[in-house]
Chains A and B, each alone.
Chain A
Amino acid sequence: MVLKLHVWGPTFGLPSIDPSCIATVAYFHRFVPRDQWTLVADHDTALSPQGEFPLLFDADEKITGFTNVVSYLRDRYAHTHDLDENLTPQQQQRTDQIALTSFLESSAGPLVDLYLYISSENYNNTTTAAYTAILPWFANYTIPPKRRDLARSRTAHLGLSSLDVAEASEDTQSGPGRGTASSEYEAAKRAAGIPTDGRTPALNMGRGKGLLGSPIYTARFKLDALSSQLLQPLADQLGNKKYMFGGDKPSGLDCLAFGYLALLRYAPVPQAWVRETMETKFPKIHSYVGRLREELLYNEDVGAADVWSIATGKAVASDLGMQLPWASRSPRATLPQVLGAVHDSVLPHALQRDPIVRHGTSGSSKSQPSVLPSPFAINTLVTVTSAVAVGLTALAIHYRRSPRDGALIFWALRPLQPVFEPVFEGFGVDSFLKQL
C-alpha cells in the first residue's frame, strides 16, 4: 500500500501554500509511517475529481479535501493509524470536532483570503513571489489571479475591498500627491478598468489625511475584530490544554487548525496584522502553533526550490535530507497545459465551460413540470423570429440590387401601373375609376 498525496507546492517553509493541504500533510506526517506514503507538489487540478487539492491516490481511489481524506483513512486503515481514536467514546467531543472544523473553514478561510490575496501589498510582495517558486511559468498567469478572484468573491460580504489596489490608488488622487506622475499613472490604471467599488473621490476627501488616513489603517479596526472573532473561540476551546481536546496526542482538528494558523503566523507579509494580533492578544495560540509545528512537522523548513527539483525529477528526497517523502510528479505534456492556461485566461467568460454540477441520484423518479416556457418553446421562438428577420433582410437586399420602379408595396398591382401616372397629375380618381 502506497498512498500518494498531491498538494499545492511549499511556501514560507511550510509544506504547502493551501491551508487544507498543510493540514493533510501534517496529518500524514504524524500518523502514517514514512514508507507508506509519498507527497507530490502539483499544480494541475484537472487530476482531481473535485477540482482541488489535497488529492489522495490510493490505488484506483481518489479522495479530495482534508475531512474526506481523514475519514477515508479512518474507515480504511483504522487499525494502523487513527488519530481520533481517543475521541470516539465521547460522542460530544466528536460533534464538537465537526462543529469546530466547520467553524475553522468558515472563519479562518476568509481571514487567509484577506491576508494573502486581497491585501494588495501582501499579494504583490509575498504571495505572487511564493507562487512563482512552485508553479511552472505558464501557470503563473492563470492560477494566482484565479485564486485571488475566488478570494475576492468569498470575502466580498466583509466590505474590506479597500485593501485592494484600486482603492489605494483612489486615495492618492485626493491626497497630497495629486497631480504627480505617479498619481497620473494610478489614474490611468483605474481608467484601464481595474475594478473599483464605484465610490466617488469626493466622498473620500476626509480620508488620506493624518496618521489613520491610509486604507490599511482604516481597515485595521475591522481586520483586528475579524482576527479576534477567529482566535477568541479557539483560545477558549484550547484553554490551558496542550491540544484542542486535551489528551497527549494531537487530533485531526489540531492538524486543521495548524494548517490555517501556520499560514497566518509564518507568512512573511509586509502587513502582518493577524500575526501581530496573535502575538499581542493571544500568546497561547501563538505558542500553540509553534508547538504544533515541532510536533507535526519536526520544525522542518521546507525549501520550495528543493521540492521543485524533486517534483520535476532532477533530485531525490533522500539525497536532500528532507523529512517529508517528496516524490516527482508523473511527467505530463506541457503543451496541453499551456493551451489550457491560454484557454482559461484569454477566452471571454461567456465562452468558458459551465460549472460542473453533479446531481447524484435523488432516489425518487417523480418530477414536477415547470410552468416557465421550456427551452424548446424558447428555441422555437428564436428560430421563427430569426427566420423572419433573415427573410426580410434578404428581400431588402434583393430589392436594393435590382430596384423596381414605383413603390415596392404596389408591386402586386404591376399590370395596373400605367393607371397610377395620372394619379400624380391630379385627375387620378376619375381615370382610376374608368380603368375599373
Chain B
Amino acid sequence: MTAETSGRDDSRARPASSRSLFAVPTPIKQLFDRFPLLTYAANELPLRAPRNRNAHTLYVFAAEDEAVAGAPSFNPACLKWQAYLKFSSIDFQIASSNNHASPSGSLPFLLPASTEASKPPPPVPSAKLQRWAMNNSTAAVEEPGDLRYEAYLSLLDHRIRRAWLYSLYLSSNSTALAEPLYILPTSTNPFVRLTIGQELRRAAENELLKFSAIIDAGELYKQAEEAFAALETALGDNRWFFGAEKPGLFDASVFSYTHLLMDEDLGKGWVDTRLRDALLSRRSLTSHRDRILASYFPEHA
C-alpha cells in the first residue's frame, strides 16, 4: 500500500518537479502570457532635467530658444560670466533659468560636468566662478595687476549699474525691455505678472535709494556718461583694457553692459535712449564690443 501510494506519488511528482506547488495554473498562465498587451516606451525625463551631464552648464537669464543657440544672455551679470568663460576657452553650454533655481539666490551659477552620475559635483556660484575658471581652463586668463583696476571696476559696478537699473526698470523702457524679458516669461497669470512687475520695480527703487534720497534720472545718466568717458580714456588705443594680451574679467564686465546697450533688438527695442546714446558716441568702447562679439560670439554678430 505504502509502496503503491509512493509509486503513484512518484508518477505524479514527476511532472510536478517542473511545476512546483506555487506554479501558476496553466489557464491563468495563458491569460497572463497575453500581458502586457502594450508596452509603453520609457517615460521621458522631466523637461527640466539636465540633458548633458558631461558638459559644463551655465544657468543664465535667457529665452529658451536663445539658450540652445548659445546667444548672449540679456542680464549683465550673466553675460559677464558667459563672456569670461568664453575668454578662458572653457567649453560650456548655457541653460535658461531663474533666480529661484540658484543655490545662492541669484544667477548665474554653473553646474560642472559630472564624471560619476551618483555623485554630482556641487554647483559653482558666480562669486567663485573666476577661481573655478582658472582651475579648469587650459588657457587661464591672467588678470592685469594694474593699480587702477579696482577704481575703474567701481565705475562699472556702481555708476553704470545704477544708470542701467534706472533705465531698465524705472524709465519708459520698463514696458519695452523689463517686461518682455523678465516679467512675461515667469507666468501666464496677469495678476502674478503684475505682482512680479511691481516687486522688480520696488527692488530697483530701493537699490537706487540707498545712494541718494531722491532718484534723479539726469544725475544718474550724467554719472554714467562720465563713467563711459573715463572707460573710453582708460581703453585708449589698446585692444583690451589695461593693455592686456587677451581679454579678461574687466573686458567681460564692460562688454556685458556695452553689448546690451548697443543691442537694438533687446526686448521690444529701446524707448528711452539716453543711456544708449551716451555709449554710442564712444568710438573705442563700441569697437571694443564689436571686437568681442565678432571673435567670441561669431554666430550672433
Chain A 348-398 residues near chain B, CB threshold 8 A: 355-360, 362-364, 366-373, 378
Whether A106 contacts B154 by the Cβ 8 Å rule is: yes
Contact of A51 among B154, B214, B268 (CB under 8 A): B214
Q: Does B69 contact A (CB under 8 A)?
A: no
A residues less than 8 Å from B147 (CB atoms): 233, 236-237
B52-71 to A contact mask, C-beta < 8 Å, 1/0: 00000000000000000000
A362 to B271, CA, bound (A): 9
Given contacts A98-B226, A233-B150, contact A369 B159 (CB under 8 A): no
Whether A107 contacts B271 by the Cβ 8 Å rule is: no
B222-244 to A contact mask, C-beta < 8 Å, 1/0: 00001101100110000000000
Q: Does B168 contact A (CB under 8 A)?
A: no
Whether B179 contacts A371 by the Cβ 8 Å rule is: yes
Whether A363 contacts B274 by the Cβ 8 Å rule is: yes
Whether A357 contacts B151 by the Cβ 8 Å rule is: no
B residues less than 8 Å from A362 (CB atoms): 171-172, 271-274
Which of A89-97, A137-145, A160-168 lies at the binding interface? A89-97
Distance in angstroms from B270 CB to nearest chain A CB is: 9
Q: Does B217 contact A (CB under 8 A)?
A: yes
Contact of A99 among B148, B197, B209 (CB under 8 A): B148
A150 to B227, CA, bound (A): 25
Q: Does A100 contact B (CB under 8 A)?
A: yes
Given contacts A367-B172, A370-B175, contact A355 B227 (CB under 8 A): no
Q: Does A337 contact B (CB under 8 A)?
A: no
A residues less than 8 Å from B165 (CB atoms): none
Task: Find the A residue at minimum CB distance from B159.
Answer: A102
Whether A50 contacts B197 by the Cβ 8 Å rule is: no
Given contacts A106-B158, A358-B216, A372-B193, contact A95 B229 (CB under 8 A): yes
A49 to B212, CA, bound (A): 11
A98 to B218, CA, bound (A): 18
Q: Does A312 contact B (CB under 8 A)?
A: no
Whether A370 contacts B179 by the Cβ 8 Å rule is: yes
A367 to B268, CA, bound (A): 11
Distance in angstroms from B271 CB to nearest chain A CB is: 6
Task: Find the A residue at minimum CB distance from B190.
Answer: A373
Chain B 178-233 residues near chain A, CB threshold 8 A: 179-180, 183-184, 190-191, 193-194, 197, 205-206, 209-219, 221, 226-227, 229-230, 233
A248 to B150, CA, bound (A): 26
Whether B233 contacts A91 by the Cβ 8 Å rule is: yes
A233 to B234, CA, bound (A): 17
A residues less than 8 Å from B262 (CB atoms): none
B16-45 to A contact mask, C-beta < 8 Å, 1/0: 000000000000000000000000000000
Contact of B151 among A52, A153, A233, A366 (CB under 8 A): A233
A residues less than 8 Å from B151 (CB atoms): 96, 99-100, 102-103, 233, 237
Interface size, chain A (Cβ < 8 Å): 43
Task: Find the A residue at minimum CB distance from B177.
Answer: A368
Whether B271 contacts A367 by the Cβ 8 Å rule is: yes
Whether A52 contacts B213 by the Cβ 8 Å rule is: yes
A131 to B263, CA, bound (A): 49
Whether B197 contacts A372 by the Cβ 8 Å rule is: yes
Q: Does A45 contact B (CB under 8 A)?
A: yes
Q: Does B261 contact A (CB under 8 A)?
A: no
Whether A357 contacts B215 by the Cβ 8 Å rule is: yes
Count of chain A to chain B residue pairs whose CB atoms are closer than 8 Å in the complex: 129
Contact of A45 among B193, B213, B229 (CB under 8 A): B213
A426 to B73, CA, bound (A): 75
Task: Find the B residue at minimum CB distance from A374.
Answer: B194
Distance in angstroms from B213 CB to nearest chain A CB is: 3
A271 to B48, CA, bound (A): 51
Interface size, chain B (Cβ < 8 Å): 50
Q: Does B296 contact A (CB under 8 A)?
A: no
Q: Does A105 contact B (CB under 8 A)?
A: yes
Whether A95 contacts B217 by the Cβ 8 Å rule is: no
Whether B154 contacts A107 by the Cβ 8 Å rule is: yes
Q: Does B157 contact A (CB under 8 A)?
A: yes
A394 to B115, CA, bound (A): 69
Whether B148 contacts A355 by the Cβ 8 Å rule is: no
Contact of B217 among A358, A370, A373 (CB under 8 A): A358
Distance in angstroms from A84 CB to nearest chain B CB is: 14
Whether B190 contacts A372 by the Cβ 8 Å rule is: yes
Given contacts A99-B234, A368-B268, A369-B175, contact A363 B273 (CB under 8 A): yes
Task: Find the A residue at minimum CB distance from B207.
Answer: A153
Whether A99 contacts B214 by the Cβ 8 Å rule is: no
A residues less than 8 Å from B271 (CB atoms): 362, 364, 366-368
Given contacts A355-B205, A359-B171, A362-B271, contact A106 B215 (CB under 8 A): no
B residues less than 8 Å from A372 (CB atoms): 179, 183, 190, 193-194, 197
Contact of B194 among A50, A98, A102, A378 (CB under 8 A): A378
Distance in angstroms from A153 CB to nearest chain B CB is: 5
- The interface centre, meaning the residue of A91, A233, A371 with most chain B CB atoms within 10 A of its CB, is A371
A359 to B215, CA, bound (A): 8
Chain B 145-173 residues near chain A, CB threshold 8 A: 147-148, 150-152, 154-155, 157-159, 170-172
A residues less than 8 Å from B293 (CB atoms): none
Q: Does B266 contact A (CB under 8 A)?
A: no
Q: Does B176 contact A (CB under 8 A)?
A: yes
A residues less than 8 Å from B152 (CB atoms): 99
Given contacts A51-B212, A233-B151, contact A105 B158 (CB under 8 A): yes
Instruction: Name 12 extra pairs, CB < 8 A, besides A102-B155, A355-B209.
Output: A50-B213, A96-B230, A103-B154, A107-B150, A233-B150, A355-B215, A357-B214, A357-B215, A359-B170, A360-B216, A363-B272, A371-B193
A interface, CB within 8 angstroms of B: 45, 49-52, 91-92, 94-96, 98-100, 102-103, 105-107, 150, 153-154, 229, 233, 236-237, 355-360, 362-364, 366-373, 378
Cβ contacts A to B, 20 pairs, < 8 Å: A45-B213, A50-B214, A50-B216, A96-B230, A98-B229, A99-B155, A107-B154, A153-B206, A229-B150, A358-B215, A362-B172, A363-B272, A363-B273, A367-B175, A368-B176, A371-B180, A372-B183, A372-B190, A372-B197, A373-B194
The 9 closest A-B pairs by CB, nearest first: A51-B213, A368-B176, A95-B230, A99-B151, A103-B151, A95-B233, A362-B272, A103-B154, A360-B217
B interface, CB within 8 angstroms of A: 147-148, 150-152, 154-155, 157-159, 170-172, 175-176, 179-180, 183-184, 190-191, 193-194, 197, 205-206, 209-219, 221, 226-227, 229-230, 233-234, 268-269, 271-274
